[in-house]
């Protein structure tokens, strides 16, 4: 899932064995999601779809995958194309894992392969219209996995738990004492320091930001959020956090906010109607959750 995972369950000592079983179930479902949707795995469903790009051959998919693609389509429409799961191909120029910038003259050719409307979907399966296109669900699968993990714990009878997947959090109920869970939002300039502490009960908190994944060239920092229209990094907030009933929704709203710049991001967050916190590049805090 691209980061550390943490699971906390509060329960009576007599339920320890059941808690271990619940944890194993969560681990299993998360591994299954990674196996199917990771672009880093050659045999994943996503890799198979990408290999067949431009061939006209569709890959059969299950209802869960169709539901995820439907969510992506709605978010693409609502964001007016800023959220585009076919934009991952731009990594060929912007290598954030290696901290390298490639040849920007390649961007026009790559941008011709970025277009969610070219994702083919029918009863026979899913495909990509043009050769070289790629589908990447990394922008939603982690958050979706956190929601599934929370539901799995509830199904196992545990209603006092906290799930964290690479900084995205779902609170299952409250602590057994009735007190809320306390979750810190990091200072982008010093990630080990907590800037704001949020109380959560039976809800999710997702954070998107550019402070941990970026490229620095000639003293200038480039965000890993790439505009699918220009192919260039977005100059936006350092961090955006959103609270919602589902981590998938919270993460989607936060991610699109990071794809906006300036007042456009604020307007998007306000329209979403969810509690949010934006931390600017200079450390300024905006939003209903701001201290």
Q: Is the pTM of this model over 0.85?
A: yes
Is residue 238 within 8 Å of residue 280, measured between CB atoms? Answer: yes
What are φ and ψ of residue 200, in 5° steps? Answer: -125, 135
On whether the CB atoms of residues 200 and 181 are closer than 8 A, the answer is yes
Closest residue by Cα to residue 276 from 206, 189, 197 = 206
Paired with 226 in beta bridges are 233
Determine the Cα–Cα distance for residues 232 and 90; give it in Å rounded to an integer: 9
- Between the alpha carbon of residue 159 and those of residues 19, 99, 100, 248, the distances in Å are 11, 42, 44, 20
Predicted pLDDT at 217: 63
Count of Cβ atoms closer than 10 Å to residue 99 Cβ: 11
Looking at residue 283, its pLDDT comes to 87
Please name the residue that has the structure tokens 């329209």: 271
Give residue 95's pLDDT.
75
pLDDT score recorded for residue 162? 98
CB distance 258 to 237 below 8 Å: yes
If residue 20 lies in a helix (H) or strand (E), which one and from where to where?
A: helix 16-37
Domains of the chain: 163-286 (3.10.520.10)
Neighbours of 64 (CB within 10 A): 13
Q: Is 282 exposed, middle or buried (0-12, 13-18, 19+ CB in 10 A)?
A: exposed
Q: Which of 161, 165, 141 is nearest to 152 (CA)?
A: 161
Measured CA angle at 232 (ends 230, 235), to 5 deg = 115
pLDDT of residue 4: 84
Note the pLDDT of residue 211.
Answer: 61
**Residue entry with tokens 């609270």:** 243
Residue pointed to by tokens 């919602």: 244
Tens digits of pLDDT across the chain (291 residues)? 567 899 999 999 999 999 999 999 999 999 999 999 999 999 999 999 999 999 999 999 999 999 999 999 999 999 999 999 999 999 899 877 766 677 889 999 999 999 999 999 998 999 999 999 999 998 999 999 999 999 999 999 999 999 999 889 999 999 999 999 999 998 888 888 899 999 999 999 999 986 666 666 666 666 788 999 999 988 888 899 999 999 999 999 999 999 998 899 999 999 999 999 999 988 899 999 998
Q: How far apart are the first and last CA of the chain?
A: 31
The C-alpha atoms of residue 135 and residue 116 are separated, in whole angstroms, by: 9
CA angle 216, 235, 245 (to 5 degrees): 110
pLDDT of res. 73: 97
């Amino acid at each position: 899932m691209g980061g550390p995972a943490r699971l906390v369950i509060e329960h009576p000592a007599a339920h320890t064995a059941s808690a271990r079983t619940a944890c194993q179930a969560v681990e299993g479902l998360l591994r299954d999601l990674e196996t199917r949707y990771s672009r880093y795995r050659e045999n994943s469903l996503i890799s198979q779809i990408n290999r067949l790009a431009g061939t006209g051959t569709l890959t059969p998919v299950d209802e869960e995958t169709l539901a995820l693609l439907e969510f992506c389509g709605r978010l693409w429409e609502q964001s007016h194309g800023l959220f585009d799961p076919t934009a991952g191909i731009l990594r060929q120029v912007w290598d954030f894992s290696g901290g390298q910038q490639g040849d920007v003259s390649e961007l026009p050719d790559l941008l011709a392969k970025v277009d969610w409307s070219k994702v083919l979907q029918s009863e026979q399966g899913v495909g990509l219209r043009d050769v070289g296109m790629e589908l990447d669900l990394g922008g939603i699968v982690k958050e979706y996995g956190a929601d599934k993990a929370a539901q799995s714990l509830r199904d196992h009878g545990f209603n006092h738990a906290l799930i964290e997947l690479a900084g995205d959090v779902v609170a299952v109920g409250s602590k057994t004492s009735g007190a809320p869970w306390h979750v810190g939002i990091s200072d982008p300039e010093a990630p080990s320091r907590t800037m704001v502490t949020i109380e959560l009960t039976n809800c999710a908190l997702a954070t998107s930001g550019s402070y941990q994944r970026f490229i620095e060239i000639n003293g200038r920092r480039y965000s890993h959020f790439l505009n699918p229209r220009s192919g260039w990094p977005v100059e936006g907030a350092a961090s955006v956090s959103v609270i919602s009933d589902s981590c998938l929704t919270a993460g989607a709203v936060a991610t699109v906010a990071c794809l906006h710049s300036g007042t456009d991001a604020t307007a998007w967050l306000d329209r979403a109607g969810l509690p949010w916190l934006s931390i600017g590049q200079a450390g300024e805090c905006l939003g209903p959750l701001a201290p």
